[in-house]
Amino acid sequence: MQQHSQNADFSQRPYEAIAREGETLVATHCSFCGMQCGMNIRVSNDTNTVLGVEPRYDFPMNGGRLCPKGVSAYRQAEHPERLLKPLIRKNGRLTEASWEEAYDLIVSKIKELQAKYGKDSIGIYSGSSMTNEKCYIMGKFARIGLGTRYIDYNGRYCMSSAAAGFNQTVGIDRGSTGPWSDIKFADVLLIAGSNTAECHPLSMPYIWGARDRGAKLIVADPRQTKTALVSDVHLDLRPGTDIALTNGLLHVMIEENWIDRDFIDRHTTGFEKLAETVKRFDPQTVSDITGVSAGKIVEAARLFGRAKNGFVLFARGVEQHSTGSDTVSNYVNLCLTTGKAGRKGAGFATFTGQGNGQGGREHGQKADQLPGYRKITDPKARAYIAKVWGVEESEIPGPGISAFEMLKSLGEEIKMLLLVCSNPMVSAPSIGNVAEYLKKLDFFVAIDMFLSESAELADVVLPSTVWIEDDGTTTNVEGRVIRIKGIDRTPGESKRDWKIICELAERLGRGQYFRFNSPEEIFNELRIASKGGVADYSGITYDKIDRMNGVFWPCPSEEHEGTPRLFEDLRFNFPDGKARLHAFEHTGPNEKIDGEYPLILTTGRVVFHYLSGNQTRRIDALRRLCPDPYCEIHPDLAARHGIGNGELVKISSRRGSIVVPAKITKTIRPDCLFVPYHWGKTLAINNLTNPALDPKSKIPEFKVCAVKLEKAKQEEMPHGQSTVH
């Protein structure tokens, strides 16, 4: 089988990775964002310690490049703050204990609580930075190890609106319709709600590739980010007005007949209603709602509508809203009404934030899902998975509830929580309330490699390994399944997450369903479980991934080469093969500004940190570059408040406040503030954010809340900050 052409991107340089004397190179992938860049980990042959990292030239996504996070990721491995022994809370303090003691306590609590309150008294809050194998085993453990319906994962806070939007519009949730190399062949790129240059920096060469071929770049973002700075048109919209903006673009494209009527008629349904809805969204009306000039709206519509090929790329700025799913669908509508699908240079994608954000939402750790992206309420899916697992269909519980809904209901039906690879005390909205919810638990167990802000609150903490100490697979932003290769070691008494789960299952008397000796054995069961599902991995093997430098799902047989590009036959994943053009009204954010809270707060990432910062805040090189959060303020707004650059400001919402230094910059709208979210405790901007959920995806509205701004005094800066020193 030949390596498919989508790999012929940056990988043609004459470079061969050569290990230095006394070292072995382990060819694997970055642990952080969904690009999953290829890297070689340098390992000492004498001590089996991790010495450093080099980018891989043979992996097409990054072709010899790494961003600051990727260069530093390896430093987690030998970090002195790693958890090396189980911890049990005794007299209020977490104290080192043996695995037997920890397991005995956990298992006795599970048995006691389930006997008293029923199977659903245990909940699992899982993560999407784990391998596919671990995500799969978490879903299986919840359903037939514990018999609980309560499992969900932190991907709810990340790409779930993209998933819901894709599902309702094209019937399949794969983060990108094509390989990343397709981007270079677009004539126009519309990047919405993504500061690609900071958050997915290794995507920028693809955007430059398209630019070199003459592509136009439109960026929709409230901030003039580094990405917006290099655009042809910057649509600097008010946060929470994307539906109005996209309706405006559709309005102009329809009025000017820059749409593809033949494509619409043959391959979509719902156009008439969409056209009727967007009639009211003329450029001036949209300008009044969004704050973007009517001229820019027309110019962007012209660039996008008239281009033959084009790609829409978006991220959390579009998705983390109470209308996030519909916003995603409306951006996809731009492609579908102009016939931009199913070929090189034409499609749409979401920038996956978590390393395995894609695979993490496919294999059964979502509240409503079984492996292969099957619905847990579908009788056929339940019967199939029951057969794969060797249980009665009736043993598989029904659907649970989403991650934040689970947190809110702690202490009600859920009495014990198992937290895996997640840190909701930084990443959840309205953290002050989350701390109160966790206190209502009878028992709280965390599995982590570092003592995160959330693990600090647990009754038992189990030490897990870091990503390069285990084998497995992840699925990157393109839908390409790749191999994570690990070093054979488990420092101290740490254990691999899947091993911990198998050992717990054994002690719960359910070991017969969890007798796995390696990640590959788990993967081989996952393949069968996914067979016939939307996310079909059944034709993917470890060996095939190695031979092909990754395999794109769906891949329904071992002879199949995988599916780098979706919809090439212009059939979408509905019985009639037609995409659904849904029409949306602009409703705006859940929380509106008013006289008391007159400014819009929006949150996001910086290039130096990953998600809750539990890993990156511990790495000196990254912490030095960005030690603390700050607040971006427009000079006009700062002048009105008498605030100078670097001075402390207090930002308050209806839920909490934070004191941080001001960063005065013209790149932000005068009616907005921006604060990055990678810190905990008193430095957590999520103390302020609004927990309003999108009804379809259940994603919280991280991107908009109403706040007020005040100048702060030094003594208002709380002591005991959460940054890890």
Angle, helices 519-530/132-140, rounded to nearest 10 degrees: 70
Q: Note whether 548 and 1 are within 8 A (CB).
A: yes
Considering only residues 638 to 697 of the shown chain, the ones binding ligand SF4 according to CB under 6 A are none
Q: How far is the CB of 127 from ligand SF4 (least distance, A)?
A: 16
| CA–CA separation, 719 and 620 (whole Å) | 21
Rounded to 5°, angle at Cα 684 from 683 and 687: 125
Q: Verify binding: residue 75, ligand SF4, rule CB under 6 A.
A: no
**For ligand SF4, the closer CB: 325 or 352:** 352
Which stretch in 30-38, 125-133, 336-344, 408-416 sits in contact with ligand SF4 by CB under 6 A?
30-38
Residue whose CB is less far from ligand SF4, 263 or 610: 610
Tell me the closest approach of the beta carbon of residue 35 to ligand SF4, in angstroms: 4
Q: Rounded distance, CA 573 to CA 556, Å?
A: 15
Query: Which residue from 9, 11, 30, 633 is in contact with ligand SF4, where contact means CB under 6 A?
Result: 30
Residues between 202 and 241 that touch ligand SF4 (CB under 6 A): 202
Smallest separation, CB 619 to ligand SF4 (Å)? 12
Considering the complex, what minimum distance in angstroms separates the CB of residue 484 from ligand SF4? 12
605: Cα separation from own chain's centroid: 12
Is residue 708 within 8 A of residue 598, CB to CB? The reply is: yes
- Among the residue ranges 28-36, 120-128, 225-233, 518-526, the one whose residues contact ligand SF4 (CB under 6 A): 28-36
CA angle 694, 695, 698 (to 5 degrees): 55
Nearer to ligand SF4, 176 or 697 (CB): 176
- Measured from the CB atom, is 154 or 247 closer to ligand SF4? 154
Chain residue at closest Cβ approach to ligand SF4:
70
Residue of 7, 9, 28, 35 interacting with ligand SF4 (CB under 6 A): 35
- Catalogue the E-assigned strands of 251-355: 268-269, 310-314, 347-350
Which x/- pattern over 148-187 shows residues binding ligand SF4 (rule: CB under 6 A)? ----------------------------------------
Query: Does 70 interact with ligand SF4 (rule: CB under 6 A)?
Result: yes
| 397 versus 613: smaller Cβ distance to ligand SF4 | 613
Measured from the CB atom, the residue of 305 and 479 that comes closer to ligand SF4 is 479
d(CA 88, CA 684): 26
Which one of 66-74, 156-164, 246-254, 578-586 is the stretch in contact with ligand SF4 (CB under 6 A)? Answer: 66-74
The verdict on 611 binding ligand SF4 (CB under 6 A) reads no
Give CB contacts under 8 A, 24+ apart, made by 438-442.
438/407, 438/410, 440/410, 440/411, 441/410, 441/411, 441/414, 441/415, 441/416, 441/417, 442/109, 442/113, 442/415, 442/416
Beta carbon nearer to ligand SF4, 34 or 240? 34
User: Given CA atoms 415, 416, 422, 425 in this order, what sign does their dihedral have?
Assistant: positive
| Nearer Cβ to ligand SF4 (33/704) | 33
End-to-end Cα, the chain, rounded Å: 50
Based on the shown chain and the rule CB under 6 A, indicate whether residue 36 belongs to the binding site for ligand SF4.
yes
Considering the complex, state which of residue 132 and residue 290 has its C-beta at the smaller distance from ligand SF4: 132
Half-sphere exposure of 504 (CA within 13 A, CB side): 28
- Residue 262, Ramachandran bin (φ over 0: left; ψ between -120 and 50: alpha; else beta): alpha
Determine phi and psi for 369, rounding to 5 degrees: -140, 145
Helix (H, G, I), strand (E, B) or coil at 201: helix
Nearer to ligand SF4, 65 or 708 (CB): 65
Q: Is the dihedral of CA 112, 114, 118, 124 positive or negative?
A: positive
Task: Assess 361 for contact with ligand SF4 (CB under 6 A).
Answer: no
Instruction: Supply the DSSP symbol for 185.
Output: G
CB-wise, 62 or 563, nearer to ligand SF4? 62
**233 and 190 in contact (C-beta within 8 Å)?**
no
Instruction: Kindly give, in sequence order, each residue whose CB lies less than 8 Å from that of residue 72, ignoring residues fewer than 6 positions away.
Output: 616, 619, 621, 622
**Contact call for residues 482 and 28 (beta carbons, < 8 A):** no
Give the pair of three-digit tokens for residue 671. Answer: 């009616």
Closest to ligand SF4 by CB, 73 vs 529, is 73
Contact status: 367 vs ligand SF4 (CB under 6 A) = no
User: In the complex, what is the shortest distance from the CB of residue 70 to ligand SF4, in angstroms, rounded to a whole number?
Assistant: 2
Residue 706 φ then ψ, to 5° = -85, 130
Task: Tell me how far apart the alpha carbons of residues 682 and 692 are, in angstroms, rounded to a whole number.
Answer: 22
CA 154, CA 373: separation in Å to the nearest integer? 17
Only segment of 26-34, 117-125, 169-177, 466-474 that touches ligand SF4 (CB under 6 A): 26-34
Using CA atoms, how far apart are residues 108 and 716, in angstroms rounded to an integer? 45
Stretch that binds ligand SF4, among 59-67, 177-185, 261-269, 654-662 (CB under 6 A): 59-67
* Minimum distance from residue 29 beta carbon to ligand SF4 (Å): 7
Q: Which is nearer to ligand SF4, 72 or 241 (CB)?
A: 72
Determine phi and psi for 228, rounding to 5 degrees: -65, -30
Nearest C-alpha neighbor of 709 from the set 627, 625, 581, 593: 593
Helices 324-337 and 160-170 sit at what angle, rounded to 10 degrees? 40
Candidates 35-43, 220-228, 247-255, 356-364; binding stretch for ligand SF4 (CB under 6 A): 35-43
The distance of closest approach from Cβ of residue 447 to ligand SF4 in the complex, given in angstroms and rounded to an integer, is 23
* Identity of the residue, 142 or 606, whose beta carbon is nearer to ligand SF4 in the bound complex: 606
Closer to ligand SF4 by Cβ: residue 69 or 174 = 69
SS3 580: strand
Task: Give the C-alpha separation, 454 to 27, whole Å.
Answer: 32
User: Per CB under 6 A, does 62 bind ligand SF4?
Assistant: yes
In angstroms, what is the minimal distance from the CB of 622 to ligand SF4? 11
Q: Which stretch binds ligand SF4 (CB under 6 A): 63-71, 246-254, 568-576, 701-709?
A: 63-71
Of these, 10, 11, 26, 32, which contacts ligand SF4 (CB under 6 A)? 32
User: φ and ψ at 440, to 5 degrees?
Assistant: -80, -10
- Is 477 near ligand SF4 (CB under 6 A)? no
Q: Which of residues 186-205 bind ligand SF4 (CB under 6 A)?
A: 200-202
Query: In angstroms, what is the minimal distance from the CB of 81 to ligand SF4?
Result: 21
The minimum distance between CB 82 and ligand SF4, in angstroms, equals 20
Contact pick of 42, 56, 69, 655 for ligand SF4 (by CB under 6 A) = 69
Please say whether the beta carbons of 460 and 105 come within 8 A.
Answer: yes
Distances (CA, A) of 629 to 541, 639, 649, 655, 679: 43, 21, 12, 19, 7
Nearest CA to 218 out of 115, 117, 292, 138 is that of 292
Closest CA to 694 of 34, 173, 159, 170: 159
CA distance 475 to 358: 6
Q: Does 315 bind ligand SF4 (CB under 6 A)?
A: no
- How far is it, in rounded angstroms, from Cα 86 to Cα 91? 16
**Least Å from the CB of residue 73 to ligand SF4:** 7
Number of other CB atoms surrounding residue 197 within 10 Å: 18
Residue whose CB is less far from ligand SF4, 314 or 351: 351
Distance CA 388, CA 201 (A): 41
In the complex with ligand SF4, the residue whose CB is nearer, 106 or 210, is 210
Min dist. Cβ of residue 165 to ligand SF4 (A): 23
Residue 627 CB, shortest distance to ligand SF4, in Å, is: 19
Rule CB under 6 A: choose which of 50, 67, 421, 566 binds ligand SF4. 67
Number of residues lying near ligand SF4 (CB under 6 A) = 14
Query: Could you say whether residue 66 binds ligand SF4 (CB under 6 A)?
Result: yes
- Enumerate binding residues for ligand SF4 (CB under 6 A): 30, 32-33, 35-37, 62, 66-67, 69-70, 200-202
